[in-house]
Amino acid sequence: MMNVKTGRRLDYSAHISQSITDILTTPIGSRLMRRGYGSFIPQLIDQPMTDANILRLQAATAQAIMKHEPRTRLTRAALAFDASGRAVMQIERKDRGQASTRRQSISIQPGVGT
């Protein structure tokens, strides 16, 4: 388990966090040998932030994590916005074999992962 930016070793939970960030920011269909990998978030994030579209973003988050990251179980996904107006998906998850709930924030914006 390695950090993709530094090449250093990651612990179990940090590797899952890195994996979830990659999954959620990768548009479905953009990986040549893994066309089904990723999420619909990059396509949805540029839509108006209506209640229905926020629900679609939360559903896309849950679907992608359940499909591509079997080492964890999503317990909560909420969309928030940081001070600059950028969308941030705040998730809570239970990692397999771990007792505590983990929190993670993923900055999502149009064009990420493309």
| Residues 91/61, Cβ–Cβ less than 8 Å | yes
Name the DSSP class of 87. E
Q: What is the extent of the structural domain holding 18?
A: 12-108
Does any domain span residue 5?
Answer: no
Does any domain span residue 60?
Answer: yes
Does any domain span residue 113?
Answer: no
Name the DSSP class of 39. B
Could you tell me which residues come within 8 angstroms of residue 40 by beta carbon, excluding any fewer than 6 positions away? 27, 28, 56, 60, 63, 64
pTM for the model stands at 0.88
CATH (domain of 55): 3.10.450.40
pLDDT in the model for residue 72: 96
Does any domain span residue 39?
Answer: yes
Percent of the chain scoring above 90 in pLDDT: 72
Does any domain span residue 69?
Answer: yes
Does any domain span residue 7?
Answer: no
Does any domain span residue 2?
Answer: no
Does any domain span residue 47?
Answer: yes
Kindly indicate the confidence band of residue 114, based on its pLDDT and cuts at 50, 70 and 90: very low
pLDDT tens-digit profile of 56-96?
999 999 999 999 999 999 999 999 988 888 899 999 999 99
pLDDT tens-digit profile of 25-40?
999 999 889 999 999 9
